[in-house]
A and B are shown apart, each in its own frame.
Chain A
């Protein structure tokens, strides 16, 4: 930890302290691929696209793959009969700070084979783009939107890449990045001003606005005067 790092409420205008770890890949030494059947098969099939393999927390296997081939590799992991990772449990990202690449993390679980695998793609901060896996797993839809919202990673081919947790017109950036201050980038006064001046259109998707805005042009015929009981007496 750096000495000038403030703690507690004093640190409210700062982001979290960047990690001291040498680099995201330095967490674990390369592990024996034979320890996990999928890892050995991945290396045999994709060769150099499998950049790194390590074991974390005792028995959790992590593979780092080439971010330009993530769709191909994850698709194979889902469909190959010996792998069958049919449940994409989670998509998230990790920022170590200090200008190091951002990790996009996929947690896979195979219900038939009862085993898990963690797949990571390292993305340089000036090229935060990776192919969307919504075509493979529908569960990635909102999970990728969340990563886009909180980390600013663009998922190519995502059908509906909008902010999800933060307001749609949020202008302060991506909150879970290490350089983002805990309290936000704008002053409290500016934040209040923006909150009060919110545009209602921003609460709807463009598709919704199209439905809501096109007047239905329903012309109700003039109602005849009520006959019978109530109105006359």
Chain B
């Protein structure tokens, strides 16, 4: 094998030394001849336990020096068989499984699942329930994007935004806890309504959050958007054209960063999203920086939607007034025999859903989240399928990273905003 010897001439030339004396090379203790490695690829295994993979994702990288030749993502380390479990459970018992998938924006998953079942069963939820769900979903869009913002900033070496975003995420956690009693595993929805109405004073707390959160967002903008390091690390990195992005199944902010204005809230609206006044931010280069900008702007738009939703929040019941679907109140159950029997029957037998199948897409924080439910008319689903946005998004990772450096691989992976809970299910 040919050996290439790197010659260090700096400081070796006697004429360059002080008073004509030779000076030792500053690299002398280490100036070994370099072996040639060009064309020989190295296999490097990232993860599954590695903080920069944002979960238990394992990437087997084929490297040429520091350049990525190919990446093989391996998933399944968090596989819990949720879809199989769902076939053993009644329709309402599945709700707690849904928030364990995307634990970074659990309420969107809770809502999407029951919305699909309600569509199949032909249940029209109350106006108040619709607006409450819009509020919860938009709140969790901010919740999910904040985690993405903080961890991605860490991946390019900026620690401060992480502290700011996690401080404000904590305030959303408190809102979750105040309403549902849980911080992550919210399980807030039921088929035909919510598990409870919003508690007293919750909207005021949300208003307080909305009044103070834009300042945090502006602070992150100041720290990052014009930051030379962030721009250098993200512009032109991991770019994908609009056509390829659609063909690869990209949805959500990742697709919109490539210039395709596809947003389920606008294109296939549910819950009167077409009557809310908001913009869909669209990028043009499809690189990591545009994905960053799109998500930052989406948080601003979510604030706008939240303010409008709070303004139009109607009174009235939150659950549908149908004894075949909604449980009686706990007070009635404990004091009235008829209600007790009603409660018992509904809990033990479960609700019945008309035969058929229904695919219901919603715009989750990561992209198009599709809940596909198949019923044969019984109290359990024949099939409950989740179309996880991150699953399809991360499958494009090899294509995005080829030819980039290893450090860019980390940035590209972070910019896709994946959550392994829903990829593995």
Contacts and interface: CB of A to CB of B under 8 A. Distances in A.
B39 to A, nearest CB: 11
Interface string A116-159: 10100000000000000000011101110010001000000000
B246 A86 contact: yes
Given A87-B262, A175-B81, A227-B28, A21 B382 contact: yes
Given A19-B382, A208-B62, A176 B370 contact: no
Contacts of A95: 383
A212 B356 CA distance: 50
- Which residue, of B32, B268, B359, B378, has the highest number of chain A Cβ atoms within 10 A? B359
Given A142-B395, A175-B81, A27 B356 contact: yes
A218 B37 contact: yes
Interface in A187-226: 203-205, 207-208, 211-212, 216-221, 223-224, 226
B376 A16 contact: no
Contact of B378 (A20, A58, A175): A20
A48 interface: no
A16 B88 contact: yes
B35 A212 contact: no
B134 to A, nearest CB: 21
A83 interface: no
B417 interface: no
B233 interface: no
Interface residues of A, number: 68
Given A107-B372, A176-B84, A56 B358 contact: yes
A56 to B, nearest CB: 4
* Chain B interface size range: 35 or more
B249 A94 contact: no
Contacts of B37: 216, 218
Contacts of B24: 227-228
Interface in B370-391: 370, 372, 374, 376-378, 380, 382-383, 385, 387, 391
A204 B385 CA distance: 28
A63 interface: no
A60 B359 contact: yes
B395 A141 contact: yes
Contact of B372 (A105, A205, A221): A105
A62 interface: yes
Given A16-B380, A107-B359, A211 B249 contact: no
A182 interface: yes
Interface string B68-99: 00001011100101011101100000000000
Contacts of B33: 221
Nearest to A212: B43
A226 B29 CA distance: 5
A56 B43 contact: no
B22 to A, nearest CB: 13
A90 to B, nearest CB: 4
Contact of B376 (A62, A96, A205): A96
A165 B420 CA distance: 12
Nearest to B261: A111
A1 interface: yes
Contact of A58 (B119, B374, B382): B119
B122 A58 contact: yes
A165 B361 CA distance: 23
Chain B CB within 10 Å — which of A87, A95, A96 has the most?
A: A87
Contacts of A11: 88
Contacts of A229: 29
A99 interface: no
A107 B249 CA distance: 12
Interface string A83-118: 000111110101110000000010101010010101
20 contacts: A19-B378, A20-B376, A27-B357, A56-B120, A57-B120, A58-B119, A87-B251, A94-B382, A94-B383, A114-B268, A138-B248, A165-B425, A166-B79, A182-B85, A204-B60, A208-B43, A216-B37, A219-B35, A221-B33, A227-B28
Given A16-B84, A226-B29, 9 more contacts: A19-B376, A87-B249, A95-B383, A105-B357, A139-B395, A211-B43, A216-B40, A221-B33, A223-B32
